[in-house]
């Protein structure tokens, strides 16, 4: 255990690379919807493999007897809609390939860091587990992508990272947090509804209002998903 936990924040894949040079643990935050889905699934006893490519993900699913989670627009089975994962069973195996949080998680596999999936749904659980356990923690909001592939800073991931930062600040104060982390915590404390941000508004229009509601639920899942042996499982 450590008496002081220093917390930094950097965005996207480049942020992961930067933080891996100075942190013992990183928290991947992809609210719509990778880390929200991981929190929902792992809290119910599932194991989740992140993956960076859909084609090879199918091969892995066959090899380990897992279910490959499909696109959100699929109306049956396990999909990228967190609502579709509410009924997962203890011991179920899922592979979730996404363009943001899953790709960053997959990149972190070889980093040697402790990797955690964080969201609003498990913010307090993650904050409590991190505080005092690590001397240096990095928050990695995943962001979205512009049409040209460039990373777009998005409000929902800022708020997701801010929820964890605010919970940690409540435990140990903000003195060991960078200005970016303190700003994220402040944004969380004065947050707006995700329905009002572009991705949330689009999801509601497409019939996925339940996914927005699940993503906004604070501390609904008392779980800390850690990346172990290539998959997210509960830290216990």
Taking 80 as the threshold, does the pLDDT of residue 183 lie above it?
Answer: yes
Bridge partners (DSSP) listed for residue 9: 139
Asked if the model's pLDDT at residue 132 lies above 70, the reply is yes
Q: Which two tokens stand for residue 86?
A: 């509410």
Instruction: Decide: 130 and 116 in contact? Cβ < 8 Å.
Output: yes
| Residue among 212, 25, 2 at smallest CA distance from 118 | 25
Superfamily for domain range 6-33+100-234 = ComB-like (3.90.1560.10)
Mean predicted confidence (pLDDT) in 28-45: 98
What mean pLDDT do residues 171-186 have? Answer: 95
pLDDT-derived band at 55 (thresholds 50, 70, 90) equals low
Model confidence at 54: pLDDT above 80: no
pLDDT band at residue 4, thresholds of 50, 70 and 90? confident
CA-to-CA distance for 107 and 124, rounded, in angstroms?
Answer: 25
Q: What is the rounded average pLDDT of the residues 42-46?
A: 98
Of the candidate ranges 72-81, 140-149, 218-227, the one whose mean pLDDT is the lowest: 72-81
Main-chain phi, psi angles of 88, to 5 degrees? -65, 155
Are 218 and 119 in contact by the 8 Å Cβ rule? The answer is: no
What whole-number distance in Å separates Cα of residue 191 and Cα of residue 214? Answer: 16
Is pLDDT at 72 greater than 90 in this prediction?
A: no
- Separation between Cα atoms, residue 214 and residue 116, nearest integer Å: 19
Q: Using one digit for the tens of pLDDT, what is the confidence trace for 75-122?
A: 678 999 999 999 999 999 999 998 899 999 999 988 889 999 999 999
**Residues forming a β-bridge with 140:** 28
How many of the other CB atoms lie within 10 Å of CB of 119? 38
Predicted local confidence at residue 149, as pLDDT:
86
Q: pLDDT-based confidence at 70, cuts 50/70/90?
A: confident
DSSP string, 192-211: PPGGGSHHHHHHHHTT-HHH
- % of the chain exceeding 70 in pLDDT: 98
Q: Angle of helix 179-189 relative to helix 155-172, nearest 10 degrees?
A: 100
Whether 38 contacts 225, CB under 8 Å: yes
CA–CA distance, 155 with 176 (Å, rounded to integer): 24
Mean pLDDT calculated for residue range 194-214: 96
Tokens 């179920």, located at residue = 92
**Residue 57, CA distances (Å) to 68, 76, 118 in order:** 7, 19, 23
């Amino acid at each position: 255990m450590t008496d002081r936990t220093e917390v930094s924040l950097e965005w996207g894949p480049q942020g992961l690379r930067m933080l891996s040079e100075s942190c013992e643990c990183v928290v991947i935050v992809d609210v719509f919807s990778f880390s929200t889905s991981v929190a929902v699934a792992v809290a119910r006893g599932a194991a989740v493999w992140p993956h960076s490519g859909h084609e090879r993900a199918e091969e892995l699913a066959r090899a380990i007897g897992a279910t490959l989670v499909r696109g959100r627009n699929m109306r049956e089975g396990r999909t990228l809609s967190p609502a579709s994962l509410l009924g997962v069973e203890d011991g179920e195996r899922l592979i979730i390939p996404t363009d943001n949080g899953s790709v960053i998680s997959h990149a972190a596999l070889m980093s040697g860091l402790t990797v955690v999936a964080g969201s609003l749904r498990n913010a307090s659980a993650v904050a409590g587990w991190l505080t005092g356990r690590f001397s240096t923690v990095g928050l990695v909001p995943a962001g979205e992508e512009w049409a040209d592939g460039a990373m777009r800073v998005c409000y929902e991931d800022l708020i997701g990272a801010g929820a964890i930062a605010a919970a940690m600040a409540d435990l140990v104060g903000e003195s060991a947090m960078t200005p970016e982390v303190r700003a994220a915590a402040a944004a969380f404390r004065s947050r707006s509804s995700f329905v009002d941000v572009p991705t949330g508004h689009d999801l509601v229009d497409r019939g996925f209002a339940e996914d927005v509601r699940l993503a906004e639920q604070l501390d609904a899942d008392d779980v800390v998903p850690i990346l172990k042996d290539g998959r997210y499982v509960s830290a216990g």
